[in-house]
Amino acid sequence: MSSSDGRHYLTTPIYYASGEPHIGHAYTTFLADTLARYHRQTGAPVHFLTGTDEHGQKIQEEAGRRGVEPQELCDAMAERFQSAWSDLDISYDRFIRTTEKEHQGVVQAFVQRLMDRGQIYEAEYEGWYSVHEERFFTEKELGPDRTDPIAGRPVERIREKNYFFRMSAFQEDLVRHIEENPEWIYPEKRRNEVLGFLQNPLSDLSISRPRARLAWGIPLPFDEEHVTYVWVDALINYLTASGAIRPEGPPGEQGFEDPGGSWWPADLHIIGKDILTTHAVYWPTLLMGVGLPLPRRILAHGWWVVGETKMSKSLGNVVDPLDLREQFGTDAVRWFLLREMPTGEDASYTPERFLTRYEELANVLGNLASRVSSMVVRYREGRLGPGVEGRGLDTEIDLCLQRVSESMVRLRVHEALGAAMELAREANGFVETTEPWGLAKREGAEDELDETLGTLLRTLLVLSALLLPAMPGKMEELAETLGLPRVPTLDQATDLPLSELQVRKGTALFPRSDLLP
């Protein structure tokens, strides 16, 4: 599901700037990065957004604990995330921060638009509030020991004046949209969860917090004594980064009537399942409230667990992707996370599972690249003659390309990577069956040897193109070994004249680790 003109606007959540990047953040961002790189390979224009969420009570309290100003904390944490994404080879087009002046203007224009359309009213509210989740919960939602149902953290009873968005007015429209667009929320089980949630009457949404309690936020344009609720502020980042809204313009010329020429609507919001309600209920109803089109699709992936326990900072079992990178390299971390987690499901991290996936890289893909480049250098001094087509695995390649394309469209990224790795296994089997070393010794088998080596080179070209989205660094290394300045597109990989390749003996793509069995 993409724009009619083939463009793709992909987003991650913006990550809360009160904690360090961890493996959960990394997975979401790798998933978005892989899809963005895949679409770029097809020649489609792509806008890939990530960033940091920098307002709210948690930021204010964390800054107080550290003895710094909230902005100072946000600056430091935004830098940490940007540095981590650089180390992990994330190709985002826009890194947004909610403390940006542009975003503040869009948020204020958005809530003013709601007010002008009669979608906001003022009322007093009393309820159970979680500072950790920065939201109110009903008695029914709370656990038996009065903790929030998401993180199990304490809640407190708060009574205060707030401004409310008439979210309940859009319940029927939202249910109709979900039912008429069965692929709007992926996977299906998450869609069913949202529909189950919407079987009960939808409450209106508190969209403000009194500045007397929370000063760190974007002031409401119609009441300076209140700041915008952090979740409303955060969700609007997707709109800010799209370029659709021009807050400096007069009403009627800000882009709400016609966001054309911008990236809006988003083609895919990629989120964790814990923030599904905010993205599949709050966000679409807010957009309905201002009269803007809804995002085209939402992917809600599962959680990473350690063994059988959900990863949690409070439990001290959070895995740092940068630590794994130091030992095994960026692309091995990317491969494990993307290959191990079925898109939309939970997955378990254990050192043993990581090593199994690394062994797959070393023994299947790495072994194939090493033995093929070595044989081409040894038997043909790195270059095949003109006329060699290398079509011995064309049927397997065509089937692989079809499976990868279908899997990526269905957002089954792990299946797409599995199909590519299966092609590498088939190529290794082809080596064992054809025995190029035997052909090199047999008199009169020169043409057969050339076609065999050409078939293996063609397969490596295709694999480099298929695996670039998941492992960009290593596929660039492979392309260099094959004598190319860059990884080919899929069209180039299947049609490139093999005589243009000047193959050299490369170093091991995935060196064997002492930890491997």
Q: Which of 170, 55, 166, 172 is nearest to 114 (CA)?
A: 166
Distance CA 304, CA 298 (A): 19
User: How would you class 212 by CB atoms within 10 Å of its CB: exposed for 0-12, middle for 13-18, buried for 19 or more?
Assistant: exposed
Which secondary-structure segment (H or E) carries 180? helix 171-180
Distance CA 8, CA 3 (A): 7
CATH superfamily, region 8-301: HUPs (3.40.50.620)
Q: What is the pLDDT along the chain (517 residues), one digit of tens a residue?
A: 445 468 999 999 999 877 777 888 899 999 999 999 999 998 899 999 999 999 998 899 999 999 999 999 999 999 999 999 999 999 999 999 999 999 999 999 999 999 999 999 999 878 888 877 777 777 777 877 788 877 778 888 888 889 999 999 999 999 999 999 999 999 999 999 999 999 999 999 999 999 998 899 999 999 999 999 999 999 999 999 999 999 988 888 899 998 888 999 999 999 999 999 999 999 999 999 999 999 999 999 998 887 655 545 554 555 666 678 888 999 999 999 999 999 989 998 888 889 999 999 999 999 999 999 999 999 999 999 999 999 999 999 999 999 999 999 999 999 999 999 999 999 999 999 999 999 999 999 999 999 999 999 999 999 999 999 999 999 999 999 999 999 999 999 999 999 999 999 888 999 876 655 4
Within 10 Å of residue 416's Cβ, how many Cβ atoms? 28
| CATH code linked to domain 351-500 | 1.10.730.10
Phi and psi at residue 270, to the nearest 5°: -105, 120
Q: Which of 304, 287, 245, 297 is nearest to 266 (CA)?
A: 297
Q: For residue 516, give both structure tokens.
A: 């491997």
- Residue 66 has a pLDDT of 94
Distance CA 297, CA 266 (A): 8
- Long-range contact pairs involving 401-405 (C-beta distance under 8 Å, separation at least 24): 401/462, 401/466, 401/490, 401/494, 404/466
Decide the pairing of beta strands 309-310 and 304-306. antiparallel
Asked whether the bond before 187 is cis by omega within 30 degrees of 0, the reply is yes
- Residue 1 has a pLDDT of 43
- Residue 513 has a pLDDT of 66
Distance CA 245, CA 110 (A): 9
- Residue 141 has a pLDDT of 79
**Exposure string (b/e) for 74-83, b if CB count within 10 Å is 16 or more?**
bbebbebbbe
Distance CA 103, CA 100 (A): 5
Q: Are 163 and 226 in contact (CB under 8 A)?
A: yes
Q: Structural domain boundaries of the chain?
A: 8-301, 351-500
- Residue 249 has a pLDDT of 85
The size of the chain, in residues, is 517
Residue corresponding to tokens 């961002």: 29
- Residue 517 has a pLDDT of 47
Total-model pTM: 0.91
